[in-house]
Structure 1
């Protein structure tokens, strides 16, 4: 089971579900992905649930916590690795972003913050101390990609280039922007266009690997999810876009063999901490 550690600046490292009903979320994702969970008690977060696969104390897949603000919509939040949280916060503020939750230390594990980009898409930063915050990846029912759906890709790419040092490349054939660290693709950006539901806000969307996109989408709908883009073939496999019963967006992806081999090659190699 590949686990990724020692990730460089700007690498996605963790997904966190912000939801109004943690027990409902545990039931939904438990049925959909076979996830279990256990609770950690953290000084700044209180009781924090960690999703795992198959066994309660197995490797972490993602986190889940109650909505921090009543006005905030349910959502998955992508956390990115930073080597210097204070410098990253300064870059965010200077580039048109906003600080929602300032720098917080989490015991001896590390420190984090929550922010929005200029369009309002929320994302988190994590600077580890002793804990690299590794997640189980590249297996069915685990996170395999993060994509920003936004209305102004030009503005988004400028912002994240300045904050993370990404190199962004247009993929005209597939209609998205590829975000790279060196030669490695780490995330993507796509414009919210006609095929998207109307009035959707800009947001980072996690992709979770499934063995069969069609059957997983049907199961999700049976469990109370809403299907916004039904299963369709894309370059990397077959995907669907859904919201869970509380309204948090996520994508399901059954990757083709070539994509899966590329992902495993590029994301399980150890990299020195920058």
Structure 2
């Protein structure tokens, strides 16, 4: 179902956001590319913008600001995993070899969050909802359709995400070398090794947005100042390609291959 009306099961990807040096430019780029609605948010949250699709929250874009002695965060799309108790999740993350990059913090009345790094170096967020549980539109053009862990060590990732976040990494039928992220028996994302990535690619979580036409989306992104990372290609799950926005944020676009009879 593309409309999500209830909080996500703990461990499920529930939100993505981008921290960008030029907040307004990032909002304009993605608003034009995906048809999102929204604008710069309240100053008390640094202008963080909640972007909408069909009047429902779909993704966030915030300013890349230094916090304390830390440098500004890189321009990357971050996947947030749902939690019922961010403090308890933080304890499990550190107990299983992960590191907290930003400790648990309150975000007004909307929720509590943290940002962490798994033992292989992939960065992710954790979101505990209060007034806001995450994306309310998924799996349709302009919305997130897939979250994927790309890791240098699938065994280490499996050993971490299970006890820390309740996510099991299991082989996906018919997709050699590819793993499903399972939460309570439901596939909520994917995982794979970095062997098919360019040398030097660090472990990371990738965000896929659904589109009606991959080639026209790629063309539009490049015309708007983005860069083509992986040319559009046909795969068993659909046509896809990877792009970088003008400020360096990398994301994938895909038109999924629908099963016969759907």
Same fold (TM over 0.5): yes
1:112 partner SS: strand
How far 1:63 sits from its partner (Å)? Answer: 0.6
Q: Secondary structure at the match of 1:38?
A: coil
* Superposition deviation, residue 109 in structure 1: 2.1
Q: What TM-score do you get using the length of structure 1 for normalisation? A: 0.86
Shift of 1:138: 2.0
Deviation string, structure 1 residues 190-239 (Cα, Å, up to 9, x no partner):
11124x23321111111000001122112222222222221122232111
Partners of 1:36 and 1:259 in 2: CA distance: 33
Q: In 2, distance between residues paired with 1:223 and 1:133?
A: 28
Deviation at 1:259? 9.4
Residues 1:179 and 2:178 are matched in the alignment = no
CA contact (8 A) 1:4 1:136 kept: no
Structure 1 residue 260, shift from structure 2 partner: 11
How many residues were matched structurally? Answer: 256
> Which of 55, 64, 74 pairs up with 1:67?
64
Counterpart of 2:194 in structure 1 is 192
Aligned to 2:16: 15
CA contact (8 A) 2:36 2:53 kept: yes
Under a length normalisation based on structure 2, what TM-score does the superposition of the two structures give? Answer: 0.90
After superposition, give the CA deviation of every residue in 1:24-47 in whole Å (9 maximum; x if it has no partner).
21121122112221344375x333
CA distance in 1, matches of 2:240, 2:256: 8
Task: Spell out the pairing of 1:216-235 with structure 2 (5 A cutoff).
Answer: 216-235=217-236
Tell whether the 8 Å contact from 1:14 to 1:135 is kept in structure 2 after alignment: no
Q: Is the CA contact (8 Å cut-off) linking 1:236 and 1:256 kept in structure 2?
A: yes
> Can you give the 5+ residue segments of structure 2 that lack an aligned partner in the other structure?
none
Q: Distance in 2 between matches of 1:259 and 1:144?
A: 19
Task: Name 1:213's counterpart in structure 2.
Answer: 214
